[in-house]
Amino acid sequence: MKLEVLLTFTLLFSALVMIGSEIRAADGIKGDYERARWHPIHFKPAIDDATDEQCLSCHQEILDRKVREQSPAGVKSSEALAWYQTLSTYQGMQETFHRRHLVTPLVKQLMDMKCNTCHQGNNLREEAPLPPDHSNRDFTLRKAVNPEICLMCHGENPYKIMGLPMPWFESRGMFQNNCLLCHANIRTVRHRVNFLKADAIEEAGKKDSDTCYGCHGGRQWYRIPFPYPRHPWKGMAQEIPEWAKDRSAESEPRFRIKTKQAAK
């Protein structure tokens, strides 16, 4: 056991020396994958302030990729209709995953997604915890993205919590296909995070409820809903429902909108 600990310490020390003495800047390590993996931009705290330009200087290929014209099974993309294309808010032909989150017209209109909104680096020293610690919830084990980030926009529609008799796509006719029929007075403080354009979403939601349903169940990847924080709103009931008692009243710190303080 002592030998294993000593060997681990030696490897970590060697890695730290490499970071400090060899890596200078991203431009100087292009073409050297192993050295690039240890660049400080992939670690805290540098990843928090990384710009898209910095990320794309090495990862531009994620935006250059195109959807296959034909699948290995022979299905043409021009003839296939993906489930998420059935909503009126889906625009154009099928696009790749990263382009749908960064550069398409709808994401530009309603969101302000950045590379580091989802990607928070990948600490190679922590890809396998030593010793194993199953109580560490922050450990994502080789995942480049924490799935909880995806869950925020791709979770199940919690129609039971909202008091709907059936899922929204079945009960929408009872509510004039209008999310704001109820939400004009309920949970009115929403979308207050730095990767969404709250005012644009509200305006789009008034014109087409598919804008709301698109993220709140219409593009569902998970069978569970995201436990959104309950930002207090005017007229909010003082009694907290049972299902909301463990929820925060604030968004995660890195997603909060930073406001400039007035000069004293």
Q: Average the pLDDT over 53-67 and give the result.
A: 93
Burial (CB count within 10 angstroms: exposed 0-12, middle 13-18, buried 19+), residue 120: buried
264 located within any domain: no
Predicted confidence at residue 139, as pLDDT, reads 56
Predicted confidence at residue 33, as pLDDT, reads 80
Predicted confidence at residue 29, as pLDDT, reads 56
Could you tell me which residue, 28 or 184, shows the higher pLDDT? 184
pLDDT in tens, 12-43: 444 443 444 333 444 445 668 878 888 999 88
Predicted confidence at residue 143, as pLDDT, reads 61
48 located within any domain: no
Would you give the end-to-end CA distance of the chain in angstroms?
59
The domain in which residue 158 lies consists of 82-235+249-257
With contact defined as beta carbons under 8 Å apart, do 27 and 33 qualify? no
Q: Please check the confidence at residue 206 and state whether its pLDDT lies above 60.
A: yes
Predicted confidence at residue 38, as pLDDT, reads 86
pLDDT band at 92 (very low <50, low <70, confident <90, very high): confident
194 located within any domain: yes
For the chain, the domain total comes to 1
- Any idea what the Cα angle at residue 44 is, between residues 145 and 261, rounded to 5°? 105
- The residue with tokens 């998420």 is 84
Q: Average the pLDDT over 71-96 and give the result.
A: 81
As a whole number, the mean pLDDT across the chain is 82
Could you tell me which residue, 101 or 5, shows the higher pLDDT? 101
Length, in residues, of the chain: 264
- The residue with tokens 């030593």 is 130
105 located within any domain: yes
Q: What percent of the chain has pLDDT over 90?
A: 51
As beta bridge partners, residue 70 has 76
67 located within any domain: no
pLDDT in tens, 239-257: 999 999 999 999 999 999 9
157 located within any domain: yes
77 located within any domain: no
Q: Which amino acid is at 80?
A: A
Q: Please check the confidence at residue 154 and state whether its pLDDT lies above 90.
A: yes
Predicted confidence at residue 229, as pLDDT, reads 93
204 located within any domain: yes
